[in-house]
C-alpha cells in the first residue's frame, strides 16, 4: 500500500520507511514558530528548565504580529519577553516592528518554509505552509517549548481526505470561496485530526496566494493540516526566495484515503460565511440584505498582494459607503511596498479606506478594528466565532477580497458585479 504526501513527509522526519494513520511517531522539525502572544508562554516553560540553548537558532522563528506596535502596557510587556529571549539566544529570525509582518504571510515570503518540511507553530493557522508542500500544523505553547529545546515533536499520523476540485474557476471565484464552500459542505469538524489534501485542475490553476488561503483555513474544518503537492509554481515561488535544499513529495496512486470528495468548481459562485461559524455558508446571491458597519480586507488568509489587487480593481474610482469603516491591512512590509509601487494604496485611501501596518489585530479582536455591540463586519479573515472581533453581540461575516471590496462600496453584502 502506498502513502499520502503527509505520511511520506512524516515518515522521512521520523527516520522510518513507512508510517500508518494512528501511529505515534517522534519527528525532527525543520522550523518552530511563535508570536508575541504564544511565545511568552513557551518562554516561561523554558525558564523552568533553565534552557541553555535552543536546538537551532536559525530554525526558531519569532514574529511580533498580534499586538505590535504595542496597544497597551500588557502587550508591550509580552513583546519585551520575546525580544529579551531573542537577544539572549541570538535568534536569527526575530521579526519586530518595521520588519515584521503577519507570520503566515511572512515566513513563505522570506523563504523560510520549503517543500517537504515539518513545521510546528504556536498558532492554529500554521497549516498555511501546506500550500508549499510542507507538513505544517499548530500546537500549544508547551509543545512548542519542547520543540524549541529539542527540535522534535511527537505526532499521531493523521488519516487523509483527498479533495478534488475540477473544472475551470469562474472569474469571480477565488481560493477563499473554494475553502469556504468546502467547510460549508463538511462542517467545522468534518476533517477532525485529518490531513486535508487539495488536488485537481482548479488547484493547479490557483496562484500560490490562492493556495495559501486554502491551506490556511484547513483548521476551520478541524484538519490537522492542509496540503497541496508542490508543482512548478511552487518550485518557482520557493527558488525565488531561498537556496535551501528541499525535497518534493507526491502521494502514491495507491495511497489510502479516509474518503475522496469531489467538487465541480464551475458550478460555484462567491461564498459568504454567516455568523457564528465558518461552516454557515451561503452563495453571495443568497446573502439577502445585510447592512455593514465595517469591512476588513487583509489577514494571514487574504492579506497578500493578489488579494489587494483584486480589492483595488473593484474600488478604483469609487467611494466606501458613508456608513462603513473599511480597514486594509496588508500581510507584510514587502506587500505594502509592492502595493505602493502599483498605486493600490492610493486607490484605497482615495476610496476612503484606512490602511494599516501589517497586524493580526482586527482578526482576533485585539486592536485596530474592534466591533461594538450590535455592529456587523464583513472580513476576509478566517474566523467568525461569537465575539471574535469584539463585543459578543457583534457579528462577523467571512468572504473573499472581491466580495469585501464591493460590499464596502455598497454598504451591504453584495456580489462583486453589483458595483461594476
The dihedral sign for the CA sequence 290, 295, 301, 302: positive
- For residues 214 and 198, the answer to whether their CB atoms sit within 8 Å is yes
List, as residue ranges, the binding site for [4Fe-4S] cluster: 300, 360, 363
Percentage of the chain with pLDDT > 70? 100
- 5-243+257-263 and 272-419 share one fold: yes
Look up cell 469585501; give the residue. Answer: 404
| Residue 418 pLDDT | 87
Distances (CA, A) of 23 to 30, 139, 149, 367: 21, 18, 24, 42
pLDDT digits 0-9 by tens, 88-120: 999 999 999 999 999 999 999 999 999 999 999
Which option is the CATH number for 5-243+257-263: 3.30.499.10, 3.40.1380.20, 3.30.43.10, 3.40.50.300?
Answer: 3.30.499.10
Residues contributing to the annotated binding site: 300, 360, 363
Indicate if the pLDDT at residue 411 is higher than 90: yes
Name the residue ranges covered by the structural domains of the chain.
Answer: 5-243+257-263, 272-419
Task: State what percent of residues in the chain have pLDDT above 90.
Answer: 93
Q: What is the pLDDT of residue 366?
A: 87
Apex 73 CA angle, 71 and 74, nearest 5? 90
Cβ-contact 268, 174 below 8 angstroms: no
114-156 pLDDT, tens digit each: 999 999 999 999 999 999 999 999 999 889 999 999 999 999 9
**Residues constituting the chain:** 420
pLDDT in tens, 36-74: 999 999 999 999 999 999 999 999 999 999 998 999 999
Q: Are 102 and 213 in contact (CB under 8 A)?
A: no
pLDDT category at 177 given cuts 50, 70, 90 is very high
Q: Is 175 helix (H, G, I), strand (E, B) or coil?
A: helix
Cα–Cα distance, 31 to 147 (Å, whole number): 9
Task: Indicate the class that CATH gives domain 272-419.
Answer: alpha beta
Dihedral sign for Cα atoms in the order 30, 160, 104, 77: negative
Q: Alpha-carbon distance 95 to 357, whole Å? A: 14
Cβ pair 197, 165 in contact under 8 A:
no
Alpha-carbon distances, residue 137 vs 118, 121, 206, 222, 308 (angstroms): 8, 7, 22, 11, 26
Q: Kindly report, residue by residue over 352-400, the tens digit of the pLDDT.
A: 999 999 998 888 888 899 999 999 999 999 999 989 989 999 999 999 9
Burial class (CB in 10 A: 0-12, 13-18, 19+), 319: middle
Amino acid at each position: 500500500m502506498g502513502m499520502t504526501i503527509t505520511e511520506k513527509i512524516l515518515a522521512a522526519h521520523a527516520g522510518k520507511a513507512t508510517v500508518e494513520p494512528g501511529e505515534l511517531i517522534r519527528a525532527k522539525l525543520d522550523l518552530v514558530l511563535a508570536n508575541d502572544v504564544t511565545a511568552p508562554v513557551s518562554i516561561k516553560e523554558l525558564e523552568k528548565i533553565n534552557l541553555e540553548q535552543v536546538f537551532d537558532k536559525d530554525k526558531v522563528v519569532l514574529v511580533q504580529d498580534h499586538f505590535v506596535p504595542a496597544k497597551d502596557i500588557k502587550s508591550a510587556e509580552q513583546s519585551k519577553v520575546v525580544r529579551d529571549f531573542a537577544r539572549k539566544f541570538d535568534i536569527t529570525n526575530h521579526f519586530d516592528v518595521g520588519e515584521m509582518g503577519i507570520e503566515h504571510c511572512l515566513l513563505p515570503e522570506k523563504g523560510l518554509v520549503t517543500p517537504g518540511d515539518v513545521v510546528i507553530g504556536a498558532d492554529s493557522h500554521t497549516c498555511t505552509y501546506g500550500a508549499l508542500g510542507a507538513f505544517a500544523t499548530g500546537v500549544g505553547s508547551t509543545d512548542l517549548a519542547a520543540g524549541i529545546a529539542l527540535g522534535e515533536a511527537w505526532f499521531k499520523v493523521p488519516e487523509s481526505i483527498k479533495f478534488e476540485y475540477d473544472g475551470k474557476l469562474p472569474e469571480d471565484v477565488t481560493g477563499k470561496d473554494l475553502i469556504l464552500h468546502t467547510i460549508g459542505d463538511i462542517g467545522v469538524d468534518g476533517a477532525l485530526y485529518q490531513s486535508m489534501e487539495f488536488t485537481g485542475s482548479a488547484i493547479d490553476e490557483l496562484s500560490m496566494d490562492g493556495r495559501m488561503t486554502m491551506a490556511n483555513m484547513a483548521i476551520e474544518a478541524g484538519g490537522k493540516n492542509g496540503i497541496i503537492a508542490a508543482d512548478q509554481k511552487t518550485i518557482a515561488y520557493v527558488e525565488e526566495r531561498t537556496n535551501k535544499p528541499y525535497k518534493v513529495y507526491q502521494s502514491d496512486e495507491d495511497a489510502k484515503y479516509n474518503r475522496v470528495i469531489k467538487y465541480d468548481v464551475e458550478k460555484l459562485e462567491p461564498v459568504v460565511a454567516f455568523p457564528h461559524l465558518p461552516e454557515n455558508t451561503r452563495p453571495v446571491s443568497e446573502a439577502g440584505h445585510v447592512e455593514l458597519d465595517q469591512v476588513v480586507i487583509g489577514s494571514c488568509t487574504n492579506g497578500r498582494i493578489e488579494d489587494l489587487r483584486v480589492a483595488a480593481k473593484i474600488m478604483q474610482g469609487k467611494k466606501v459607503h458613508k456608513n462603513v469603516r473599511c480597514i486594509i491591512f496588508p500581510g507584510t512590509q514587502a506587500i505594502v511596498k509592492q502595493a505602493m509601487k502599483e498605486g493600490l494604496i492610493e486607490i484605497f485611501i482615495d476610496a476612503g479606506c484606512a490602511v494599516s501596518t501589517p497586524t493580526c489585530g482586527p482578526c482576533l479582536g485585539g486592536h485596530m478594528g474592534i466591533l461594538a455591540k450590535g455592529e456587523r463586519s464583513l472580513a476576509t479573515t478566517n474566523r467568525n466565532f461569537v465575539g471574535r472581533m469584539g463585543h459578543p453581540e457583534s457579528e462577523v461575516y467571512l468572504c473573499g477580497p472581491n466580495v469585501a471590496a464591493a460590499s464596502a462600496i455598497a454598504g451591504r453584502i453584495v456580489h462583486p458585479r453589483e458595483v461594476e
